[in-house]
């Protein structure tokens, strides 16, 4: 078969009035071949495929899709650059498109925008990771400022009300201010139930928001798109940040998450057409409370064990023996990778955060002056008393008559 360029040359020479013999002599092709291409439309030889800049990395992309379920082309581009890829985004997108799973149909929704500083949306997401061949789960707290689209994400082992408050505080500190209102779905840590049209808020979370002046709001039932900005952020984190992420502990994971947020907040947002960090300056968020008025909401109640430990996220932290807090309730706060233990408004111990459940962190003075259990005096043993049973006494009937003031003659009458 001839290449298309040669076929075009034969036909061009024929239109110039040259004979088959002349064309064969000029092109060096047999006359029968020239005659065949002038009379019919034989198949043209396909062009040999040129090598692509993406070829050395296609197997790596297949592994990402197969093992990590990574489908975000922007993230692939970021990860391929250090490996030596010099091509563009379109090559990756074209290669990945047929490898994507089929998408389910979606209903269109009307986008709702808010004014600067008006609203912060947040939600939880479940994230699965592998450790020593076993699958485990973490909870990701994701917050998004509705106007600027500034994102924040952190990961925790729990998602109870106390943890939600701490994550909300971390988000406000990252965003450097308080919004007028917050919006989330109907999680029990925020909303207990609806009594008619009146919400019955979780009292712990409601007291926290009332104290800092933030109005609680929840989206309509079965309508998660009401908080679509944070819903989209959770999806992006699962598609872009999480696939294949490697971390040593939760603290390391949160450091990577913050770096990812810093990077993403510098990119142009597809909806607003501006960088979130630029629109962030227009939010004019309210200032955070200062001192103990803010820090007190990080405190959680914990009971001290008989051997002087406090449990926080599955880790036991010791207290000094001089505090004499065995069996009592103390307050615990976790911030900046430090566990602080309070009792009656005073700090009694501080420890660096440990992330491996089951770890015991002793205080340097935890057992100072404490005698071993084997040398402690035993408590007095309770003693009972046994007494002989009373012996019945037989008496004459006259004695009972006398006691009652009755004579035998009166009884006979």
Structure token pair of residue 76: 């692939």
More confident residue, 223 or 338: 338
pLDDT for res 69: 86
Confidence of residue 163 (pLDDT cuts 50, 70, 90): very high
Contact 219, 115 (CB under 8 A): no
> By percentage, how much of the chain surpasses pLDDT 90?
31
Mean pLDDT of the chain: 84
pLDDT at 71: 87
For the chain, what percentages of helix, strand and coil (3-state, to nearest 5) are there? Answer: 35, 20, 40
For residue 112, what pLDDT is reported? 65
Banded pLDDT at 388 (limits 50, 70, 90)? confident
- Residue 411 has what pLDDT? 54
Please write the tens of the pLDDT for every residue from 187-240.
899 999 888 878 899 999 999 999 899 999 888 765 555 556 777 888 889 988
pLDDT at 374 over 90: no
pLDDT band per the 50, 70, 90 thresholds, residue 407? low
List strand residue ranges (DSSP E) for 214-363, in order: 215-218, 300-303, 309-312, 315-318, 329-335, 338-343, 346-352, 360-361
pLDDT at res. 66: 87
165 membership: H or E segment, kind and range: helix 161-175
Residue 290, pLDDT above cutoff 80: yes
Q: Is the pLDDT of residue 40 over 70?
A: no
Query: Which residues have C-beta within 8 Å of that of residue 67, sequence separation ≥ 6?
Result: 244
Cβ count near 267 (within 10 Å): 11
- For residue 314, name the pLDDT band (cuts at 50, 70, 90): confident
Q: What average pLDDT does range 126-131 have in this prediction?
A: 93
Q: How far apart are CA 192 and CA 205, in angstroms?
A: 11
H-type alpha helices, 214-249: 228-236
User: Percent of the chain at pLDDT above 70?
Assistant: 89
The average pLDDT across 159-181 equals 93
Give the pLDDT of residue 288: 92
pLDDT of residue 399: 79
pLDDT of 41 > 70? The answer is: no
What does the pLDDT average to over 40-69?
Answer: 78
Token pair 């006259």 is at which residue? 398
Decide: pTM greater than 0.75: no
Q: Can you say how many angstroms the Cα of residue 38 is from the centroid of all Cα atoms in its chain?
A: 68
Confidence of residue 88 (pLDDT cuts 50, 70, 90): confident
Q: Residue 377: its pLDDT value, please?
A: 64
């Amino acid at each position: 078969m001839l290449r298309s360029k040669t076929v075009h040359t034969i036909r061009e020479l024929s239109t110039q009035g040259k004979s088959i013999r002349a064309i064969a002599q000029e092109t060096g092709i047999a006359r029968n071949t020239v005659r065949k291409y002038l009379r019919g439309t034989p198949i043209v030889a396909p062009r040999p495929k040129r090598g692509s800049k993406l070829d050395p990395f296609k197997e790596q992309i297949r592994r990402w899709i197969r093992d990590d379920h990574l489908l975000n082309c922007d993230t692939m581009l970021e990860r391929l650059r250090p490996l030596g890829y010099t091509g563009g985004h379109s090559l990756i997108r074209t290669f990945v498109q047929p490898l994507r799973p089929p998408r389910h149909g979606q209903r269109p929704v009307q986008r709702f925008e808010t004014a600067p500083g008006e609203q912060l949306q947040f939600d939880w997401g479940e994230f699965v990771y592998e450790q020593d061949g076993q699958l485990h789960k973490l909870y990701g707290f994701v917050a998004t400022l509705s106007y600027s689209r500034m994102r924040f994400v952190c990961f925790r082992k729990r998602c109870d009300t106390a943890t939600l408050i701490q994550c909300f505080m971390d988000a406000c500190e990252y965003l450097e201010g308080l919004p007028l209102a917050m919006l989330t779905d109907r999680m029990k840590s925020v909303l207990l139930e609806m009594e008619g049209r009146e919400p019955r808020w979780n009292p712990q979370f409601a007291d926290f928001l009332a104290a800092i002046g933030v109005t609680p709001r929840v989206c309509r039932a079965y309508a998660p798109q009401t908080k679509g900005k944070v819903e989209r952020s959770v999806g992006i984190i699962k598609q872009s940040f999480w696939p294949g992420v490697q971390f040593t502990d939760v603290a390391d994971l949160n450091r990577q998450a913050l770096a990812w947020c810093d990077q993403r907040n510098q990119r142009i947002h597809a909806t607003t057409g501006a960088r979130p960090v630029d629109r962030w300056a227009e939010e004019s968020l309210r200032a955070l409370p200062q001192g103990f008025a803010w820090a007190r909401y990080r405190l959680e109640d914990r009971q001290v064990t008989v051997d002087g430990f406090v449990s926080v996220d599955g880790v036991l932290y010791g207290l000094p023996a001089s505090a004499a807090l065995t069996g009592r309730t103390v307050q615990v706060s976790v911030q900046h990778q430090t566990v602080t233990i309070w009792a009656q408004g005073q700090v009694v111990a501080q420890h660096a955060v440990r992330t491996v459940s089951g770890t015991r962190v002793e205080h340097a003075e935890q057992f100072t002056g404490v005698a071993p259990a084997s040398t402690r005096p035993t408590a007095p043993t309770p003693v009972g008393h046994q007494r002989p049973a009373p012996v019945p006494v037989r008496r004459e009937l006259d004695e009972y008559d006398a006691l009652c003031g009755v004579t035998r003659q009166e009884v006979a009458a």
